[in-house]
Amino acid sequence: MNELIIGQAVPDFTLPASNGQEVSLSDYLGRKVILYFYPKNMTPACTQEACEFRDASDRIAAKGAVVLGISPDSLASHAKFIEKNGLPFLLLSDEEHKVSESFGVWQLKKLYGKEFMGIVRSTFLIDEQGRLAGEWRKVRVKGHVERTLEQLD
């Protein structure tokens, strides 16, 4: 696991996106990027988080930023999630969890006494030069999008 440090360049990556294209982080140089990792489409907390980013999308765009969501879900699952919730941003599919691992968010989790590997909900703010400007790990959804917006200023 690489430790990301505020002010350092974020390693570039390329993943298949919900628009049918391959998307690289470097495609967004010159814009701020809110990169959020979430465990699974169609689950309550992930849906709430996605909808809060959706509802803030005009404010985010006005601050010159773009939202990208990443989960291990398939592109087909992403398409259903976007359609059901009217999401205006791309979702990237990290089925091999290579990008999640590089950001240190693919970790051992516990649920109902079972241990398994999965994404720990986390958000990273990347500046126009591709450097890490902010990070939130082990995110609780309530109020998170507002805190992210404050950091954009």
**What are the CA-CA distances from residue 7 to residues 35, 60, 78, 133 (Å)?**
16, 21, 31, 6
Catalytic residue, from 4, 17, 25, 46: name it: 46
Distance CA 78, CA 23 (A): 15
Element of type H or E holding 83: helix 75-85
Extended beta strands in 32-104, E state: 32-37, 65-71, 90-93
- Cβ-contact 125, 152 below 8 angstroms: yes
Whether 51 sits among the annotated catalytic residues: the reply is no
Q: Mapping DSSP to helix (H, G, I), strand (E, B) and coil, where does residue 102 land? A: helix
Closest CA to 94 of 12, 9, 17: 17
Q: Which residues are catalytic?
A: 46
